[in-house]
Structure 1
Amino acid sequence: MATDAKTEKRALRAEIRQRRRSHGELQLSEHAEHLSHHLRELVVAHGATRISCYLSGEFEPSTRPFLSWASDAGITVLLPVTREDGLLDWVVSDGESEHPHELGFPEAIGELLGPIALGDADLLIVPAASIDLEGYRMGWGRGYYDRTLGSMADRPPVFAVVFDDELVGAVPREVHDERVDGVVTPSGITRF
């Protein structure tokens, strides 16, 4: 069963990567504007002053306009930094310091706060490849967020960010897969 889910996930991730690469610049720009609007709504609705987010890569739903707004609004944003042990450290965003990670995604640079820094966040915004209608998140296969979310006893609300066509009826699941509380797409916010 687990092998089947792994195989299905691998195929689905490849399909999603291909679809994401086919989005045009105008479409990506419009999506980024809509996503930023919905993410701002989410932060305001939760009264969040300290959040976690991520630096979006070239073909991901863009968090960049939202991160700029959060910085201007005085919201503390924690950005992830990968560790060799599969966990995530966190740094406070300064809006500028990043480098390309060897796996191809942008990663923040700054003073490492350790995994426990996430415990003080009011809202977690996480990347995903796909989300299903029960709130199960399919990531990119490295397990960073599943381990992080699974280790939190009293976690704040968690919302994933995907394109509209990546919110689907069901995603392949394994035992370690974590649910999220909602999803933000260019067309809106869905709560589970």
Structure 2
Amino acid sequence: MIRAERRQRRATATDDVWRELAAALAAHFDRWLAGRAAPGTVAIYESLPTEPPTGALAETLRAQGIRLLVPELLADKDLTWRAGPLGADLGRDAIAQADVVVVPALAIGRDGTRLGQGGGSYDRVLPRVTPGIPVVAVVFDGELVTAVPSEPHDRRVDAVLTPSDGVRDVQSALKY
């Protein structure tokens, strides 16, 4: 149902609406970062057409001189990381270099449980993130829900970013 709703949202959204969503996500994330130690490296996914748009966020980070790690899907559905979209392949373990990790999700439970696309790529990646590094999931408004299904191997995210509410710590439900 969430996948169908996303496809419908994108099919009916104008380019102007999509640009507004992208700008809101970038502005909220920038405000959240301003209250933290400046990251040297952020791992960020390149959004698919039905996902909340991350292009403006990536541009904002680059303009601040922040190094970006961008994932690339491997044949086994694991992810390797590149230094920017066209940079050199840094390998699967490069995610451990990130000071903040931005991940996609279809929905996030209030306890931080992440519902992904079902391929398990981020289930493989998240255990490689250095402990204590914040993992922020990006979702549309309404996709922070009471609960989502989880498995024992699932790693919870620390925060969720939405176009309307900004970055919210899902463990305490505090808005930044």
3-state SS of paired residue (1:165): coil
**In structure 2, C-alpha distance between the alignment counterparts of 1:131 and 1:23, rounded to whole Å:** 22
- Cα 1:133–1:185 change in 2 (3 A) is same
- Identity of aligned pairs, percent? 39
What do residues 30-87 of structure 1 show as CA deviations (whole Å, max 9, x unaligned)?
A: 2111100011123333321211001112222111111111111110010001112232
1:124 aligns with 2:79: no
How far apart are the structure 1 equivalents of 2:128 and 2:65?
Answer: 28
The offset of 1:155, in angstroms, is 5.1
Give the match for residue 123 of structure 2.
146
Decide whether the 8 Å contact of 1:50 with 1:123 is kept in 2: yes
- Structure 2 residue aligned with 1:26: 16
CA gap 1:67/1:123 in 2 versus in 1, 3 angstroms: same
CA contact (8 A) 2:6 2:50 kept: no
Structure 1 gap segments, 5+ residues each: 1-10, 94-107
What one-letter code is carried by the residue in structure 2 that aligns with 1:37?
A
- AA aligned to 1:184 is L
Task: Determine which of 18, 24, 27 is the counterpart of 1:37.
Answer: 27
Give, in whole Å, the separation in 1 of the partners of 2:10 and 2:153. Answer: 26
Segment of structure 1 superposing worse, 24-33 or 156-165: 24-33
Determine which of 155, 169, 172 is the counterpart of 2:146.
169
Say how many residue pairs are matched. 168
Which stretches of structure 1, 4 residues or more, deviate above 6 A after TM superposition? none
Q: Which amino acid aligns with 1:149?
A: L
Q: Which residue of 1 aligns with 2:83?
A: 92
Cα deviation for residue 20 of structure 1 reads 4.0
TM norm structure 1: 0.79
Which residue identity is paired with 1:35?
L
Pairwise CA RMSD = 1.8
Distance 2:14 2:162 in 1: 17
- Match in the other structure for 2:167: 189
Q: Relative to structure 1, is the Cα distance of residues 69 and 12 closer, same or farther in structure 2, using a 3 angstrom cutoff?
A: closer
Check conservation: 2:95, 2:125, Cα contact below 8 A. no
**TM norm structure 2:** 0.86
More helix by share: 1
What is the CA deviation profile of residues 85-127 of structure 1, one whole-angstrom value per residue up to 9, with x for unaligned ones? Answer: 232111111xxxxxxxxxxxxxx44311012211121100011
Q: Which residue of 1 aligns with 2:174?
A: none
Structure 2 residues not aligned, in runs of 5+ = 172-176
